[in-house]
Structure 1
Amino acid sequence: MTMLHYAVQRLLHAIPILAGVSVLVFVLVHMMPGNAIDMLVPPDAPQELVKRLMAAYGLDKPLHVQYLHWLAMLVKGDLGYSIATSESVARELGRALANTFLLAIPAAALGFSVGTLLGTAAAFRQGKLTDKLLSAIAITGVSLPHYWIAIVLVAIFSVSLNWLPAQGMGFEGLPGDLQQLGSLVLPVVALSLIPLGVVGRVVRASVLDVLNQEFVSTLHAKGLGGGRIVVHILKNTLPSVFAVMGMQLGYLLGGSIMVETVFNWPGSGNLLYQAILRRDVPVIQATIVVLAFFFVLMNLLVDIAQALVDPRIRR
């Protein structure tokens, strides 16, 4: 199977997944108690006003009609308007995603690089104190909840030491100086610990598996340097490591609701949290579907990258 054929096949597989996500999101959102109209008008508002608002937002139609209308708008790229703010959902979500990317990309770079280093070092020191220490760090990163880590970091570095800001961005767009850059440190560290732990454990297991293969002994017998052998070993671990990295990056791009809430970071997770509180159906639906799209896209890119690294996957 050619690379192009494989990529097209994976792309076609992603379409029904996204369609299924849209149905699931629509059904679950409409199972929530209450609606945004209840949040807009007082409890003693006239029923005529409530009915007019329901009709204006199309909430008085049957669910299947609402879904088909929303799906048609979604296919055209129209995410609708927020019921709570009357602002374009695409504009709100675009700003929130940009802020989430500011956290997710550095957190992924930090977690993946440190996790790879720790996992590789632990594998080469298997059974020794270094291995146990690095493995304990990886397990801790996986086990501790994001939001708890975020609260502890705020308590230590913001409240006790007063070194870093506790909440908010303090800037728009990209940080322009060290003070603004400080707003990124705590949320990035909090978000990076889980991918660090997951990648570290996977890299350790993959490297140990490769070390037990015969070609490693052959490389040693040929007198190849230690650094070049490590490169060969890491190259053979790439398919499995890529898969985990893709999933973790998808989670990070999806935003962490609790971490963004703790740091009052105006990202996609915080936007979704506020929309849920306000029962803002258009924002909830659009945010979840767009985040699901990014997750599926990341897995698609990882599948293609794996096939490029290991052509056997395309068979």
Structure 2
Amino acid sequence: MFVYVLRRIVYTVPIALGVSIVCFALIHLAPGDPLSAVIPEGASPEAIAQIRAAYGFDQPLPVQYVKWLGHVLTGDFGTSIMTRRPVLSEVAPAIVNTLTLATAAILFGFVLGCLLGVAAGYLAGKPADRVVTAVSITGVSIPHYWLGMVLIVIFAVNLNLLPATGMGEGGSGSFGLGWDSLQYLVLPALTLSVIPAGIIARSVRGTIAEVRKQEFMQTLYAKGLPARRVFLHVVKNALPAVLAVMGLQLAQLLGGSILVETVFSWPGTGFLLNNAIFTRDLPMLQGTILVLAMFFVLINLLVDILQTAVDPRIKRA
């Protein structure tokens, strides 16, 4: 087990390096000049050259990448073009806020998806199975932003039960575990949880149905094990696949919540990315995308390790 974990960590290094190259290249391949927002109108060529030199944009791309990567490895993600503040000082609280939202969404989606999936797996081919399938497909098909606006209209505007936007009256710094703070989390987390719940439900349903068809299940029943013990065996055999889906969905939520965070004005990385895109803040885009990509890589590493710990029969090269 230790050798496997060490090997997976070593494999992560070139993956992380490749991710950094892609993040850097994609930003620079985008059309337009990222410094257009800070170059004053009518600036002389000499002034423009000085601004480009100040941000290091006067050098070849390979040189820019090496210098950028060297700064990133020391924790320096550059300075925002718009706010003139260090990128890391803005990305750090934003990633915490996104993790809070994504964790709440994936927990709700995991619980709901597992309940629906187990019920459908044990009732495969019956009307309940078809109902769960229809609900799952509907959940996966609903656009995040549309559902968020519908929930705002229903619960915030019409019923006045929950706040529509923001993260609390005192901002993200005052967010806690009390209802005064958690009520701001309900609608965005519910919005984000719908798609993971549908995907997890379908995955659990298929895994449960497949496990129940295997020969060892007949052996368990032949030995006279009670239904509760048999259920535990089913869950144990289905858990690795469920962990993989849950990990991928959590990673997806970290980078795919830009529209939901914008709709609910949730101060996370999605909201930060949206502002950086419209203002063409290149350092902010690079730093935020790189942090999200690294979280995706680390979550996949953690899922691989957890799968092997749960089921040692899993052998990977």
TM range (shorter): over 0.9
Q: Name the structure 1 match of 2:218.
A: 217
Q: Name the structure 1 match of 2:110.
A: 112
In the alignment, residue 62 of structure 1 is paired with which amino acid? P
In the alignment, the residues of structure 2 paired with residue 106 and residue 82 of structure 1 have an alpha-carbon distance, to the nearest angstrom, of 30
In the alignment, the residues of structure 2 paired with residue 289 and residue 87 of structure 1 have an alpha-carbon distance, to the nearest angstrom, of 18
In the alignment, the residues of structure 2 paired with residue 85 and residue 34 of structure 1 have an alpha-carbon distance, to the nearest angstrom, of 20
In the alignment, the residues of structure 2 paired with residue 11 and residue 62 of structure 1 have an alpha-carbon distance, to the nearest angstrom, of 32
Q: Is the 8 A contact 1:22 1:289 kept in 2?
A: yes
Q: How far has the Cα of 1:43 moved from its partner?
A: 2.9
Q: Name the structure 1 match of 2:128.
A: 130
Q: How far has the Cα of 1:274 moved from its partner?
A: 0.9
Structure 1, unmatched stretches of 5+, are none
Q: Does 1:256 align with 2:254?
A: no
In the alignment, residue 91 of structure 2 is paired with which amino acid? L
Runs of 4+ in structure 1 displaced over 6 angstroms?
Answer: none
TM-score, scaled relative to structure 1: 0.95
Cα displacement string for residues 95-151 of structure 1 (whole angstroms, at most 9, x for unaligned residues): 101111120111111111111111001111122222111121111111112112112
Q: Is the 8 A contact 2:172 2:267 kept in 1?
A: no
Q: Does 1:172 align with 2:172?
A: yes
Structure 2, unmatched stretches of 5+, are none
Q: How far has the Cα of 1:166 moved from its partner?
A: 1.3
Q: Name the structure 1 match of 2:37.
A: 39
Q: Name the structure 2 match of 1:64.
A: 62
Q: Is the 8 A contact 2:78 2:87 kept in 1?
A: yes
1:230-309 alignment to 2 at 5 Å? 230-309=231-310
Q: Does 1:313 align with 2:314?
A: yes
In the alignment, the residues of structure 2 paired with residue 98 and residue 308 of structure 1 have an alpha-carbon distance, to the nearest angstrom, of 27
Select between 15-24 and 290-299 the one with higher mean Cα deviation.
15-24
Q: Is the 8 A contact 2:121 2:206 kept in 1?
A: yes
Q: Is the 8 A contact 1:36 1:279 kept in 2?
A: yes
Q: Is the 8 A contact 1:98 1:267 kept in 2?
A: yes
Q: Is the 8 A contact 1:104 1:255 kept in 2?
A: no
Within the candidate set 62, 70, 80, 1:82 is matched to 80
Cα displacement string for residues 52-82 of structure 1 (whole angstroms, at most 9, x for unaligned residues): 1111111111111111110111122211111
Select between 88-97 and 75-84 the one with higher mean Cα deviation.
75-84
In the alignment, the residues of structure 2 paired with residue 81 and residue 313 of structure 1 have an alpha-carbon distance, to the nearest angstrom, of 45
In the alignment, residue 197 of structure 1 is paired with which amino acid? G
Q: Name the structure 2 match of 1:158.
A: 156
Q: Is the 8 A contact 1:35 1:280 kept in 2?
A: no
Within the candidate set 13, 25, 28, 1:27 is matched to 25
Cα displacement string for residues 187-242 of structure 1 (whole angstroms, at most 9, x for unaligned residues): 00011111111111000000000000122122222222212211110100111111
Q: Name the structure 2 match of 1:11.
A: 9
Q: Name the structure 1 match of 2:194.
A: 193
Cα displacement string for residues 254-299 of structure 1 (whole angstroms, at most 9, x for unaligned residues): 3511100111111011111111111111111111111111111011
Cα displacement string for residues 16-68 of structure 1 (whole angstroms, at most 9, x for unaligned residues): 11111111111110112223321123332333322211111111111111111
In the alignment, the residues of structure 2 paired with residue 50 and residue 162 of structure 1 have an alpha-carbon distance, to the nearest angstrom, of 52
In the alignment, the residues of structure 2 paired with residue 43 and residue 227 of structure 1 have an alpha-carbon distance, to the nearest angstrom, of 73
Q: Is the 8 A contact 1:168 1:265 kept in 2?
A: yes
Select between 229-238 and 214-223 the one with higher mean Cα deviation.
214-223
In the alignment, the residues of structure 2 paired with residue 245 and residue 229 of structure 1 have an alpha-carbon distance, to the nearest angstrom, of 23
The alignment covers a number of residue pairs equal to 313
In the alignment, the residues of structure 2 paired with residue 148 and residue 96 of structure 1 have an alpha-carbon distance, to the nearest angstrom, of 23
Q: How far has the Cα of 1:9 moved from its partner?
A: 1.2
Q: Is the 8 A contact 1:260 1:269 kept in 2?
A: yes
Q: Is the 8 A contact 1:100 1:255 kept in 2?
A: no
Q: Percent of pairs identical after alignment?
A: 50
SS in 1 for 2:224: coil
SS in 2 for 1:43: coil
